[in-house]
Amino acid sequence: MLDAANQRAEVLDTDALLLGRLHAGDVAAFELLFERHYATVFRALYGLTGSHEEAEDLAQETFLTLFRTPPRHKPGMSLAAWLCRVGLNRAYNRLRGARRERQRAERLAEAPAPAGPEEELARSEERALVRQALAKLPERQARLLLLRHAGLSYAEVAQALEIAPSSVGALLARAEKAFVAAYAAGNDDEPVL
Amino acid sequence: MNRCYDDGALRASVDGALGRPELDELRAHLRVCPSCAARLLELRAAAERTGALLSAPQPDTRAAFARTLTALDRARGADTEQPIRRSSTMTISRGWTRRITLLAAALVAVALLALPPVQAAADQLLKIFRVQSVVFVPVDRDRLRELEQLDFDASTLFVAEPTTVVDPGEPVTVATADEAAAMVGFPVIQPPLAGQDTSTTYAVRGRSVQEFQVNVEAARQLLQAAGVTDVTLPDALGSGPIRADIPPMVVTSVSGADYRLDLIQGRSPEVTVPDGVELEQLGTALLRLLGTSPEKAAALSAQIDWSTTFVLPFPAGMSGVQTVQFGDITALQVSSRRSDGREMQLYWQRGDRFYVLSTQGNVDDATVSALVDATR
């Protein structure tokens, strides 16, 4: 994970060059940026949604935004951080509507047991609990976890959340404790089927 | 160094995010401070647990890029073609005209189904056969490109213009599900999405009967042009008209601020083919046209009951097609993504009744699930 972050740090300059070409409508530059950053954006979105399809959908929207309105490169700017921020903004916007929240809760409560092997069932239950646990955290804490565990460096996480890089460790420690506790509490609440 | 470390520094050390001198100092401190060492263990455990719970499968970046390019192309095309929002009657009327036209072509050379997008292919075939099972035939993208470049005039496949024996007329819009049910002769499901911000319409399409006769020679030329020389189409295929009797259907459309949902409910059509036409033979021809090897096509074709099986050609590597289980109902789901939102189509069958659900925008899984349940 850290290797990936370091590798990204080394390619910041090329990101800047590619962004410049992208502003000129260069699709090949878009492809290179897509290959470089797609997996990171996908991981952050999968962490939040727990759905392969939804994460792909949101990641695609994120890259369409990049293609249509690429950001102006500034010194020290991380494109991975920018992309993750755009993706998570979209994801949270989708989640926000009160009606949607209610229906999500209903779905979690009423979802019929999917057919399939037991491990698959356990995995889908785990994903639901992960989403519940994330929803219990303050949004900034949840974003911090998603960004860091998607593979962003401390500096990139700091940039995406507009916080001081020196505060990432402390915030991360607090967020992870809260998340693990929320997950464990959700697991206990789960009715025995 | 004797002072204890805060959680932030300890946590950063887990990620190797501390500088070398700071890390050395921390290690020295841990050797003499069981309290900090214990906290470090706790923090590492929480970090690892979080990492495991938030872990994601490896995405297929190449496929995702291809889909994104398609979405860009489609958005560009849509800008020049027509406005995104159309009135519901317009949509239904145009949609049906297109489907009926394609239906005729599909009956003659099912292979043509490989050419339109996979949703459209699925859409047509479900109206033709009594579907009981689905076979997915992966088609190589290069093969699809070859087929597209054949530049074959589909109209030559007919001896004459297809004739309309019973004209369904324009769809009739009614206000309630009960009125629609009275017209189609079966109970009409009402989508569970009622509210002040929604509008619901029921459009009933009358019974339609179409007849057409195949120009076998043209169909053979199509196969030949596509490089399929090991399958022969029987003369019987062109010996008499093929007749498709499509019972009345109802299209329920619900739209809200950020979504649109269309549910087609109907009975399976009856298709009559001339005596002496073996469906297995036509099936083999289809598989060969799609690029399946001769041996595999023969083996597959022998296994499939062509009168009840829906063959869905889809580009190899496509990830948006899957079967979904709703209790004892197996549905086929085709998802696609558009620049203006998510689009999904779901096909399922209950007795002699078939259902095609199309959704755009914010329609959640609970609504879809409730709708499928309602068809029990």
Cβ atoms of B255 and B113 within 8 Å: the answer is no
CB contact under 8 Å between A180 and B17, yes or no, is no
A-chain CB neighbours of B75 within 8 Å are 64
Predicted confidence at residue B137, as pLDDT, reads: 59
* CA geometry: angle A61, B57, A69, nearest 5 deg: 20
Which ipTM value was assigned to this complex?
Answer: 0.84
Residue B264 has pLDDT above 80, yes or no: yes
Return the percentage of chain B with pLDDT > 90, whole number: 10
Label the pairing between strands B270-272 and B329-338: unpaired
For residue B335, the model assigns a pLDDT of 66
pLDDT of residue A76: 81
Q: What is the pLDDT of residue A182?
A: 94
Scanning the structure block, which residue is given the tokens 């629609």?
B180
User: Which tens digit of pLDDT belongs to each residue from B112-165?
Assistant: 333 333 334 444 444 433 334 445 555 666 776 676 677 666 667 777 767 778
- A172 at the B interface (CB within 8 A)? yes
**Model pLDDT for residues B93-118, shown as the tens digit of each residue:** 222 323 333 333 333 223 333 333 33
Mutate to test the interface with B, among A149, A152, A156 (most CBs of B within 10 A): A149
Kindly tell me if the per-residue pLDDT of B52 is higher than 70: yes
Output the six-digit token pair for B261.
């949902």
User: Which chain A residues touch B335 with a CB distance below 8 Å?
Assistant: 53
The answer, for A22 touching chain B at a CB cutoff of 8 Å, is no
Query: Is A56's CB within 8 Å of B64's CB?
Result: yes
Q: What is the pLDDT of residues A56-84, one digit of tens each?
A: 999 999 999 999 889 988 888 899 999 99
> Is it the case that residue A93 has pLDDT exceeding 70?
yes
Whether B105 and B112 have beta carbons less than 8 Å apart is answered as yes
pLDDT averaged over every residue in chain B: 71
Inter-chain touch A47–B56, beta carbons under 8 Å: yes
Q: How far is CA B123 from CA A12, B375, B376, in A?
A: 47, 19, 21
Mean pLDDT of chain A: 81
Residue B263 is inside which H or E element, if any? strand B259-267
User: What pLDDT is attached to residue B319?
Assistant: 47
CB A27 within 8 A of CB A66: no
Least confident of A113-122, B66-75, B203-212: A113-122
A chain contacts of residue B68, beta-carbon cutoff 8 Å: 34, 60, 63-64, 67
Neighbour count for residue B370 (Cβ, 10 Å): 15
Beta bridge partners of B337: B342
Which tokens in the block code for residue B306? 């062509």
pLDDT tens-place string over residues A139-158: 999 999 999 999 899 999 99
pLDDT in the model for residue A20 = 86
Q: Which of A165-174, B327-336, B366-375 has the lowest mean pLDDT?
A: B327-336
pLDDT of amino acid B22: 87
pLDDT at res. B214: 81
Q: Do A53 and B335 touch (CB under 8 A)?
A: yes
Put simply, the chain A residues between 36 and 75 with a CB less than 8 A from any chain B CB are 38-39, 42-43, 46-47, 52-53, 55-57, 59-61, 63-64, 67
Q: Given a cut of 60, is residue B217 above it in pLDDT?
A: yes
Task: Indicate whether B2 pLDDT > 50.
Answer: yes
Phi-psi region of A162 (alpha: psi -120 to 50; beta: other; left: phi over 0): left
User: A13-27 pLDDT, tens per residue?
Assistant: 478 888 888 888 788
Is B364 close to A107, i.e. CB distance below 8 A? yes
CA dihedral A81, A19, A43, A91 (to 10 degrees): 70
Coil, strand, or helix at residue A163? coil
Q: What H or E segment, with its residue span, contains residue B134?
A: strand B133-139
Q: Cβ(B238)–Cβ(B276) under 8 Å?
A: no
Is A169 an 8 Å CB contact of chain B?
Answer: yes
Q: Above 60 in pLDDT, residue B69?
A: yes
Query: Which is it for the CA torsion B138, B140, B145, B149, positive or negative?
Result: negative
Please, which contacts does B320-326 make with residues 24 or more away whose CB atoms are closer than 8 Å?
B321/B118, B321/B136, B323/B134, B325/A114, B325/A115, B326/A112, B326/B369, B326/B372, B326/B373
CB-nearest to B71 from A39, A64, A94 is A64
Q: Please write the tens of the pLDDT for every residue from B159-169.
A: 776 777 888 77
A 149-168 residues inside an 8 A Cβ radius of B: 149-150, 153-154, 166-168
Q: Are B320 and B336 in contact (CB under 8 A)?
A: yes
In this prediction, residue A133 carries a pLDDT of: 94
> Tell me, what's the pLDDT at A145?
97
Contact B325 A114 (CB under 8 A): yes
**Mean pLDDT, to the nearest integer, of A101-121?**
56
Is residue B284 predicted with pLDDT exceeding 60?
Answer: yes
Would the CB atoms of B65 and A110 count as touching at under 8 Å? no
